[in-house]
Structure 1
Amino acid sequence: MKALVFAAGLGERMRPLTDTTPKPLLEAGGKPLIAWHLEKLAAIGVREVVINTSWLAAQFPEALGDGSRWGLHIHYSYEGGTPLETGGGMHHALPLLCSDGDAPFIAVNGDIWTDYDFSRLPREPAGNAHLVMVDNPPHHPGGDFVLLPDGRLHGGDTQRLTFSGIGVYRPALLHDWRSIIGDAPGSGDTPPRFPLAPLLRAAIRDGAATGEHHAGAWTDVGTPQRLARLDAALAAAR
């Protein structure tokens, strides 16, 4: 199974830290945020990882190399000076993720930290997407999707959980992306730029998305203050 780590964002809310360092390369607990993911992916037998890059892209191969220190082979999917957003980034990386057919792959946001056990992820999701959901953090109290008792996701308005940024996807999720996205800004560019959320909502409406609830630690490292709190917590745990 292959994996994609989203690392192309501009990190605007993290400035001035991201003026000189891409957000996934900022350190917490003595190592870059992205390194925590690479360790977890290697531990469950993933051997090929695609990292999409844009802002300060050259720093990623300088910091991570070819991935051999983790027993991985890292491919870099450069998106140019303007990030392609999550959907466009995944679409752009598909040739690297699906070079051996139509197999599912893992995708994880490079700017989160969690103690979630990646071995719980299904190798063959029931639908086109399987999302790890977490309790709503203070900065996102409304949540994203409802997780039903049978594991299906629903787009209801109450008792929603927050999407953690960890999921397993089938390439089929993107097959009809243009009709779902329509004429949204960036969708006509080459390569196209578009968010993943509308595709997830479409899969949920079609009954093609499942999920699970992770009740453990999870941090969306979106501000310098959250990064500092995470770093202090990991230092205390050591």
Structure 2
Amino acid sequence: MAVAMPSRAMLLAAGLGRRMRPLTETLPKPLLTLQRRSLLDRALDRLAAAGVSEVVVNAHWHADQIATRLAAREAREPGHPRITLRREASLLDTGGAVRAALAEGLLPAEAPFFIVNADSVWLDGPIPVLHRLAQAFDPAREDSLMLLTRGAFVTGSASPRGDFALDPLGIPRRPKEREIVPYLYAGVQIATAALVADMPAGPFSLNLAWDRALEAGRLRGLVHDSLWFHFTRPLDLPDAEKMLRDAANLVPTT
């Protein structure tokens, strides 16, 4: 059951980026650049192209730099989309950040919304990722539909054992002890407020919310059909640059 394309999203940009040091000692990870465009702008570009009109961006590490970049974007492209910066004096982690935005009315209590990691970069397949998620999401039976990707289409994987296995109906499960599973969370999902409903205020990971949804049978996965990039070490950036150049060279010309 498809839902209307969400008009609002949460962009998670508050992390410390420790694995990308020394690059992130004086720069927040979302402001690292890939092909001369910041990861933050790339994520916002995807959301804008999908018709998302309001985005909440959380910030903590070098939050002033995030604020400056967002102000420059707003000056250049006013209202495309409208951005609310939510500074975190102390880190709330991914789940806590979403819950706090919902508590302040910055995300819809009833309608679905996107949650996107600011450091995830992907190429769209035949149908754009965000449209695929909206088309496949059924809030009557799930609280979150997450984008998963196979390790073979990844650079810079942070989880060599994988994050999830997936059955033919798209129901994920966590790996068993010593098991290697094929799918990684790609940093993009569509969800409703029910995903973090009743979770305590304060810092917590979205993994806790996913585990609760798994137990209730209300979590599903959708497999990505193109390249995905995640950056866990400085050398991942030039690797991704090369992969993007190679991918561009494969596009036929007319």
Fold in common (TM above 0.5): yes
Partner of 2:239: 229
State the distance in 2 between where 1:67 and 1:96 align.
24
Residues 50 and 209 of structure 1, relative CA distance in 2, 3 Å threshold = same
Query: Which structure 2 residue ranges, 5 or more long, are not aligned?
Result: 1-6, 250-254
Aligned-pair CA distance for 1:235: 4.8
More moved, 13-22 vs 135-144: 135-144
More moved, 19-28 vs 62-71: 62-71
Amino acid at match of 2:11: V
Aligned-pair CA distance for 1:66: 7.3
State the distance in 1 between where 2:99 and 2:109 align.
15
More moved, 150-159 vs 33-42: 150-159
More moved, 28-37 vs 133-142: 133-142
**Aligned residue among 172, 190, 193 for 1:168:** 190
**Aligned residue among 29, 32, 35 for 2:35:** 29
Matched, 1:59 2:81: no
Report sequence identity in percent. 32
Aligned-pair CA distance for 1:139: 4.6
State the distance in 2 between where 1:125 and 1:65 align.
35
Where 1:175 maps in the other structure, the secondary structure is coil
State the distance in 2 between where 1:93 and 1:53 align.
12
State the distance in 2 between where 1:215 and 1:233 align.
16
State the distance in 2 between where 1:121 and 1:234 align.
23
Matched, 1:103 2:103: no
Where 2:115 maps in the other structure, the secondary structure is strand
Q: Normalising to structure 2: TM-score of the pair? A: 0.81
- The correspondence of residues 39-50 of structure 1 with structure 2, limited to 5 A, is 39-50=45-56
Partner of 2:83: 74
- The correspondence of residues 99-138 of structure 1 with structure 2, limited to 5 A, is 100-116=108-124, 117=128, 118-122=130-134, 124-126=137-139, 127-136=142-151, 137=154
Partner of 1:181: none
Aligned-pair CA distance for 1:93: 1.6
1:124-179 per-residue CA deviation (whole Å, 9 max, x = no partner) reads 5341011000113555232112222112223353544111111011101111323x
- Note if contact 1:113-1:221 (Cα within 8 Å) is conserved in structure 2: no
Partner of 2:164: 145
RMSD: 2.1
Residues 43 and 192 of structure 1, relative CA distance in 2, 3 Å threshold = same
Q: Normalising to structure 1: TM-score of the pair? A: 0.86
Amino acid at match of 1:141: P
